[in-house]
A and B are shown apart, each in its own frame.
Chain A
């Protein structure tokens, strides 16, 4: 008996042992479910198991940073900066890093579709031949002046193509717009430069060479113009000179991310930035001696200090800093320009630069050089021009509207009723990659490739003193059934025949690109030379663009910019509320980030809030109103109201309410839709002298709702605000 038992035991043990071994060895029959596919034909520049790197250009904003994409077996894996690219020197911002999530995103428009009715989700997939035919029909069935193009600020090659097409066929000139250009007040800046220096262009600020930076609301570390290059220049200002660390003063009513890096953050009353700049100019001019320039003669620093709620000592101290500095620089930007007197502010601040004689010098202001294949500076449409455009749409002037790369339904203030005006347009064709709010209002969506699947180039407008045209090439084959808009237009133009076909006599987008770029082959100063156009284009893609080697600092044409009046008017504010409303662009979401989950989950640098919209409010104000953290309040302006949770932000003036722009989508994919609110709903159609939206020129009231909604914060409230270790 015992013998039998032991045999049973043996069997039992053996069975258990075998089963355990099977589990533990990780033999995983799962290997049987995996299939491996060899290359049909191995690309010759590929090596098995090795990553391939492609140079291209980032399309998350219009700055035009050069990227190097790591790809592996046909998939794009990682965004890295192009170290040779003069704009970003191998660096990227968070949005650039996340551009892969725009490429591999489940919510993309996968096929060309016809929408059942505007605004509805139900669509009918089409094939590309029909789609191209639709575009061709739209081009031929309407009079040229009934056709309009609305385009985003990127990419430039498509804009050039459409411009050529429009010019040749007599269509309306394409108009470009973007939320960033609206909140950057680009038009204001370039017009101020023109009026002061006598030459239009985008001023560039050489922070890296300066030792004292006085910024008036410029959020150059966040989204302003070219954040990567300005961040690099900021670092150079701080530590570039081993002997002296640059000093940075920021005038802003709220401590933005940029202001948080300032040595001195001087909160002033919104709308008084121009006055403060003029007062500083007067104090500096007086300290320097000599005759007082006309530009600064009209202000009284003491009055300005009172109006701006800043002590006169502070102003004198800043003036002293400027006077004793070697290369001081003053930077206007952000909310300072988004006032009813934005252009005056810009002029006053630029005049300050003229006063310290840094225009065109290292560490000073210069006009950004034009791109190599560009003859004049084209700024994107200001909000005023957009309003005119919308009015024309509403009046039925346009029968066909092509939209590419921009989402005006979301970005433009509700008071400029883009969505409503679309009803005046018979046919709306969108080339959106993503089903955004505007694509939802279009009759057809013919999806363009995502930026990483596209050819193209982007002109670098500002941020470097070199002339740069940044090249883009597809790093992966298109993931979905999309087609390059340039290809669609070229094909449609061929179908349409006549002038259209004559203007675009190209086989495809690449040929068009060659025609635009290979003209640079002859330039002697270029970053590379090539004996023939084919080699040139190969280099162009390989290096990620073309740029000239030497610096081109365009300095002012006007010899004496200070001999003029700058009216130091205070800004007007619209609305009956008691709080200044200050929208700012979320650094991580900006125009195009909201559909990318990684960007949604990036904490805001100053508040560390993720995934949602918050309302910044000074704790004092909140105490008066009986509001606590995470209470939902209603912000009401003359033109709209939004509800969001409150963040008690200690570094904001008590009379200012701030809100980030970037959330509040009603479409644009599962990660963006229904999340947060859009502060541009609160903005009225108020413009500054240059036609830019006076986005910071609104006053609002705050109403409690009694609701509470927890904000997702990276920080712990307890350690940061409540039980703080000393």
Chain B
């Protein structure tokens, strides 16, 4: 990690490279940069609206109508049955929470570790956290048999002497997700304030009103900056344990249950790593999409950033592989008959191909692509690897949840799960995620301009002098 933390600390080792390849060494005037970001936000062509329209229709039908249908008819329209009481909804919950992890991880950990190359893409990642959590929460609600009573999970004082049960891992989940949603939204918002202020000064009409509200009257005085930096640093440190705890708690939904294949002590770290695995990959995809669709973003998002993410992906993939086989070998060696049957079922059952696809996507793909620096720096290749990794991680959750539920201690009941309306709802959720992201790209700058400028200025300072002048972030 320390080597990652100082990518520019040894520029001489890569002297043959054009120093302008690095964003930090390729500064533009501040006004120009601000204009670029604003332009990317404002200029919307017809393709954007076509895609938005399609997504909106998808959301309305696949999510809105399908969910109405699900509530009206009951969960029978989904594929869940006995013994697979949890289906794709829960797969989606874990998946989206996993996705939401990378935002915080990239932003907070890299901020804490002062990694310079994080600067342009923290916002995009943080936004992913918030929107991913929205999807996760929706999935939880869709999963419930009587969603209209879901407020019973909240500890509302009442005269009936009934509380939610704090023994229940689902309760912890509920708490963890809401905490995380709150924290990550605030963590998204804090670095957004200067940019909102910047946008406020450069826009008119309803946007001006909006940015006026969101900018909280930020004017950029010394005191404001100081407070903001303090707040951001505090949040960056504080949100890391929250992030780790959330996915650990999600894993406890499974690890606390007494089911073969679930009751595993390694699930906590394993799920966190799995979340990072899919989250990193998702960041790669999102960066690729932003870079290729948003005007001027090729300037901000460069191969060096893909390189950073690619290295992280490789590292996380290796860690994931370690945990996966740890989780695999222990029951295999431990010899519990039900655990073994579950493994046998996943590998040799009718859905054996899912297991192999998962391993291929999660291990073979990253290991064969990401070791090469040149390939790492190829955005489309990294994005493709990201898509495959996400497919693999989704399958991993699919194997744990619906496939794992097939195998229980009552062999008489073992039955396959065939998804029903969940498929439409999952498609709808992906559409909603994209739609939210696209709409957000119209109202908030997806590049934290001030952070980039801050970095560039620090590096400019450094280039002027002959002596070793430390970077701004090292000064902090």
Per-position binary interface string of chain A over residues 407-424, scored 1 when its CB falls under 8 Å from any chain B CB and 0 otherwise: 000000000000000000
Contacts of B415 in A (CB 8 A): 716-718
Per-position binary interface string of chain A over residues 699-726, scored 1 when its CB falls under 8 Å from any chain B CB and 0 otherwise: 0000000000000000111111011111
CB distance from B454 to the nearest CB of A (A): 38
Contacts A724-B411, A725-B337, A725-B338 given: A718-B416 contact, CB under 8 Å?
yes
B410 contacts partner chain A, Cβ-Cβ < 8 Å: yes
Which of A720, A722, A723, A726 has a CB less than 8 Å from the CB of B412? A720
Contacts of B337 in A (CB 8 A): 725-726
Contacts of B344 in A (CB 8 A): 723
Which of A716, A717, A720, A723 has a CB less than 8 Å from the CB of B341? A723
Closest to B337 in A: A725
Closest to A23 in B: B148
Closest to B345 in A: A723
The interface size of chain A toward B, counting residues with CB under 8 Å, comes to 11
Contact indicator A716/B338 (Cβ below 8 Å): no
* Assembly CA distance A719 to B349 (angstroms): 11
The interface size of chain B toward A, counting residues with CB under 8 Å, comes to 16
* Assembly CA distance A726 to B345 (angstroms): 14
* Assembly CA distance A723 to B413 (angstroms): 12
Contact indicator B341/A715 (Cβ below 8 Å): no
Contact indicator B349/A716 (Cβ below 8 Å): no
* Assembly CA distance A724 to B415 (angstroms): 13
* Assembly CA distance A724 to B410 (angstroms): 11
Contacts of A716 in B (CB 8 A): 83, 411-415
Per-position binary interface string of chain B over residues 127-157, scored 1 when its CB falls under 8 Å from any chain A CB and 0 otherwise: 0000000000000000000000000000000
Which residues between 293 and 346 of chain B lie within 8 Å of chain A, taking CB atoms? 337-338, 341, 344-345
* Assembly CA distance A716 to B413 (angstroms): 5
* Assembly CA distance A716 to B412 (angstroms): 6
Contacts of A715 in B (CB 8 A): 412-413
B100 contacts partner chain A, Cβ-Cβ < 8 Å: no
Which residues between 380 and 418 of chain B lie within 8 Å of chain A, taking CB atoms? 406-407, 410-416
Contacts of A717 in B (CB 8 A): 414-415
Contact indicator A719/B414 (Cβ below 8 Å): yes
* Assembly CA distance A726 to B335 (angstroms): 13
Closest to B160 in A: A24
Contacts of A719 in B (CB 8 A): 410-414
Contacts of A725 in B (CB 8 A): 337-338, 341, 411
Contacts A723-B414, A725-B411 given: A718-B406 contact, CB under 8 Å?
yes
Per-position binary interface string of chain B over residues 336-362, scored 1 when its CB falls under 8 Å from any chain A CB and 0 otherwise: 011001001100010000000000000
Contacts of B345 in A (CB 8 A): 718, 723
Contacts of A718 in B (CB 8 A): 345, 349, 406, 411, 414-416
* Assembly CA distance A715 to B413 (angstroms): 6
CB distance from B180 to the nearest CB of A (A): 27
Contacts of A723 in B (CB 8 A): 341, 344-345, 349, 407, 411, 414
CB distance from A437 to the nearest CB of B (A): 33
CB distance from B351 to the nearest CB of A (A): 11
Contacts of A722 in B (CB 8 A): 349
Contacts of A720 in B (CB 8 A): 411-412, 414
Contacts of B412 in A (CB 8 A): 715-716, 719-720
* Assembly CA distance A715 to B83 (angstroms): 11
Which residues between 668 and 726 of chain A lie within 8 Å of chain B, taking CB atoms? 715-720, 722-726
* Assembly CA distance A722 to B352 (angstroms): 14
Closest to B148 in A: A23
Contacts of B411 in A (CB 8 A): 716, 718-720, 723-725
* Assembly CA distance A417 to B277 (angstroms): 72
CB distance from B85 to the nearest CB of A (A): 14
* Assembly CA distance A253 to B238 (angstroms): 73
* Assembly CA distance A724 to B338 (angstroms): 10
CB distance from B162 to the nearest CB of A (A): 12
CB distance from A308 to the nearest CB of B (A): 34
* Assembly CA distance A363 to B415 (angstroms): 45
* Assembly CA distance A718 to B341 (angstroms): 11
Contacts of A726 in B (CB 8 A): 337
Closest to B411 in A: A719
* Assembly CA distance A720 to B407 (angstroms): 12
Quick one: which of A720, A724, A725 has the most chain B CB within 10 A?
A725
Closest to B410 in A: A719
Quick one: which of A715, A716, A717 has the most chain B CB within 10 A?
A716
* Assembly CA distance A253 to B86 (angstroms): 43
CB distance from A160 to the nearest CB of B (A): 48
Closest to B409 in A: A725
Per-position binary interface string of chain B over residues 44-55, scored 1 when its CB falls under 8 Å from any chain A CB and 0 otherwise: 000000000000
CB distance from B76 to the nearest CB of A (A): 15
* Assembly CA distance A271 to B416 (angstroms): 41
* Assembly CA distance A725 to B345 (angstroms): 11
Closest to B414 in A: A719
Contacts of B410 in A (CB 8 A): 719
* Assembly CA distance A393 to B338 (angstroms): 64
* Assembly CA distance A719 to B416 (angstroms): 10
* Assembly CA distance A172 to B300 (angstroms): 103
* Assembly CA distance A549 to B246 (angstroms): 74
* Assembly CA distance A719 to B406 (angstroms): 9
* Assembly CA distance A21 to B411 (angstroms): 47
Contacts of B338 in A (CB 8 A): 725
* Assembly CA distance A723 to B338 (angstroms): 11
Quick one: which of A715, A719, A724 has the most chain B CB within 10 A?
A719
* Assembly CA distance A726 to B411 (angstroms): 11
* Assembly CA distance A421 to B103 (angstroms): 81
CB distance from B157 to the nearest CB of A (A): 13
Contacts of B341 in A (CB 8 A): 723, 725
Closest to B82 in A: A716
Per-position binary interface string of chain A over residues 15-57, scored 1 when its CB falls under 8 Å from any chain B CB and 0 otherwise: 0000000000000000000000000000000000000000000
* Assembly CA distance A716 to B84 (angstroms): 12
Closest to A718 in B: B414
CB distance from A26 to the nearest CB of B (A): 11
Contacts of B416 in A (CB 8 A): 718
Quick one: which of A715, A722, A723 has the most chain B CB within 10 A?
A723
Contacts of B413 in A (CB 8 A): 715-716, 719
* Assembly CA distance A719 to B338 (angstroms): 11
Closest to A714 in B: B412
CB distance from A260 to the nearest CB of B (A): 15
CB distance from B163 to the nearest CB of A (A): 16
CB distance from A721 to the nearest CB of B (A): 10
Closest to B416 in A: A718
* Assembly CA distance A719 to B84 (angstroms): 14
* Assembly CA distance A723 to B337 (angstroms): 11
* Assembly CA distance A19 to B383 (angstroms): 50
* Assembly CA distance A716 to B407 (angstroms): 11
* Assembly CA distance A271 to B232 (angstroms): 89
Contacts of B414 in A (CB 8 A): 716-720, 723
* Assembly CA distance A717 to B411 (angstroms): 9
CB distance from A712 to the nearest CB of B (A): 12
* Assembly CA distance A722 to B415 (angstroms): 11
CB distance from A536 to the nearest CB of B (A): 52
* Assembly CA distance A717 to B349 (angstroms): 12
Which residues between 41 and 94 of chain B lie within 8 Å of chain A, taking CB atoms? 83
CB distance from B149 to the nearest CB of A (A): 10
* Assembly CA distance A533 to B167 (angstroms): 68
Closest to B348 in A: A723
Beyond contacts A716-B415, A718-B406: 9 other A-B pairs, Cβ-Cβ < 8 A, are A716-B413, A719-B412, A719-B413, A720-B411, A720-B414, A723-B349, A723-B411, A725-B338, A725-B341
Q: Spell out A's residues near B (CB within 8 Å).
A: 715-720, 722-726
Sampled A-B contacts (18; CB under 8 Å): A716-B412, A716-B413, A718-B349, A718-B411, A718-B414, A719-B412, A719-B413, A720-B412, A720-B414, A723-B344, A723-B345, A723-B407, A723-B411, A723-B414, A724-B411, A725-B337, A725-B338, A725-B411
Question: What are the 10 A-B residue pairs with the smallest beta carbon separation, nearest first?
Answer: A719-B411, A719-B414, A716-B414, A718-B414, A716-B415, A716-B413, A723-B345, A725-B337, A715-B412, A725-B341
